[in-house]
Amino acid sequence: MTETLDYADYVARPVTDGDRAPAAGLGERALRTLYDGPLLPYALLRHRLLLRRCRHTDRHTYTAFLRSPAQLRLLAGPVIDFLRPGGAGDDRLDIVLVACSNGAEAYTIASWLHRHRPELDFRIRASDLHPEMVARARAARYSAAEVLHGPFMTRAFLSDTFIEQGAEFVVRPEIRARVEVEQADLLDAERLRARFGPAPLVVAQNVLFHLPEPAAERAFAALTVLLAPRAALMVAGMNLDLRARLTAEAGLAPFAQDVRRIHQEGRAHTPPHWWRVPWGAEPYLPLRRDPVRRYATVYRAPLHDAETPTRGDAGI
Ligand SMILES: C[S@@+](CC[C@H](N)C(=O)[O-])C[C@H]1O[C@@H](n2cnc3c(N)ncnc32)[C@H](O)[C@@H]1O
């Protein structure tokens, strides 16, 4: 028996040419309209109760290639411009990515930066708690269902990222070479810092909502300690109230580009009845207090005194 809850029910979906997901079926759209519209107060209440009572597990490994194209555009544009205000620079950009599951997220980012920031020298240091996920990420070979089950897959991304070998999709050697994978526990702050810190870009996505709130708070603190003086944190997939509070307390400022779209793309991976699962998230509600901070997924660390803001810092 494996130690993780695997997603045997991944099913390949059609690939698109554009960057919008094909429309969902009528039934799914009707349910989403209902729960995100007239039944929203009920859904919000049920989700709050669920979060109070549910038992968390670190065994969920759901992931997807090209999980949020809008977030990748933000990363390859304003975030990299902020991290490299003088251009690509000579030194390598180290990206620390925890909770990498089967590696889909790490290879997605590697492929996207390779294509859209070809001048950038970067390396992704990926890790996961479970050795079996580390082994799968290192193998970098996937079934069609693992590659094609997400709603946003495009032909361009497929050819940039994979070589098809029989029934398998094998990550291209030039993309594979950008990613290292090892075992690491997000909750082991000291070891995390000794191995990965300080890093200009830290990615911890869709894992904190699987932890009980006190553990999520500890993990968040461990992540912020990893941040270099000029750094950004990508942190989709955690309790929204908690993220708003912890990012504000840490002095992190949200990148505002496409916040709404990125949030909605994240929700495309949960069922219409999002309130029934701990990893579900409310729809984008513009009347919430400080919606940009609440729904953002990428934040920049406060610049140290020695750092003067530059043109690359504008428009955040
Ligand atoms: C839902 S997957 C998210 C994968 C990927 N980050 C994404 O966004 O698609 C959550 C992953 O977090 C890992 N995980 C859970 N607890 C962890 C911990 N304490 N330290 C490191 N990884 C952990 C799980 O093994 C799983 O692979």
- List, for residues 216-227, the tens digit of each pLDDT value: 999 999 999 999
**Which 8-state DSSP code applies to residue 315?**
T
Ligand 1 contact, 136 CB (< 6 A):
no
Q: According to the model, what pLDDT value does residue 25 have? A: 81
Give residues with Cβ within 8 angstroms of 266, minimum separation 6. 67, 68, 236, 237, 281, 297
Q: According to the model, what pLDDT value does residue 230 have? A: 95
> What residue spans of 5-142 are helical by DSSP H?
26-36, 40-53, 69-74, 80-83, 104-116, 131-139
Enter the tokens of residue 134.
């580390």
Q: According to the model, what pLDDT value does residue 312 have? A: 46
Q: Domains of the chain: which residue ranges?
A: 57-261+299-311
Query: Per CATH, which fold does 57-261+299-311 belong to?
Result: Rossmann fold (3.40.50)
**Which 8-state DSSP code applies to residue 77?**
I
CA 86 to chain centroid, in Å, comes to 26
Q: Which residues of the chain have pLDDT under 70?
A: 1-8, 19-22, 88, 304-316
The radius of gyration of the chain from alpha carbons, rounded to an integer in Å, stands at: 19
Ligand 1 contact, 39 CB (< 6 A):
no
Ligand 1 contact, 126 CB (< 6 A):
no
Residue 120 has φ and ψ, to the nearest 5°, of: -85, 125
Chain segment 205-214, per-residue pLDDT in tens: 999 999 999 9
Please tell me the distance from the alpha carbon of residue 53 to that of residue 223, in angstroms, as a whole number. Answer: 26
Residue 301 C-beta-side C-alpha neighbours within 13 Å: 22
Residue nearest to atom 16 of ligand 1 (CA): 58
Both ends of the chain: CA-CA distance in Å? 46
| Pocket-testing residue among 207, 210, 217, 298, ligand 1, by greatest number of atoms within 8 A of Cβ | 207
pTM of the shown model: 0.93
Exposure string (b/e) for 67-100, b if CB count within 10 Å is 16 or more? bbbbbbbbbbbbbbbbbbeeeeeeeebbbbbbbb
Measured in angstroms, how far is the CA atom of residue 215 from the centroid of ligand 1? Answer: 14
Q: According to the model, what pLDDT value does residue 314 have? A: 42
Neighbours of 30 (CB within 10 A): 12
Please tell me the distance from the alpha carbon of residue 36 to that of residue 41, in angstroms, as a whole number. Answer: 9
| Pocket-testing residue among 101, 105, 233, ligand 1, by greatest number of atoms within 8 A of Cβ | 101
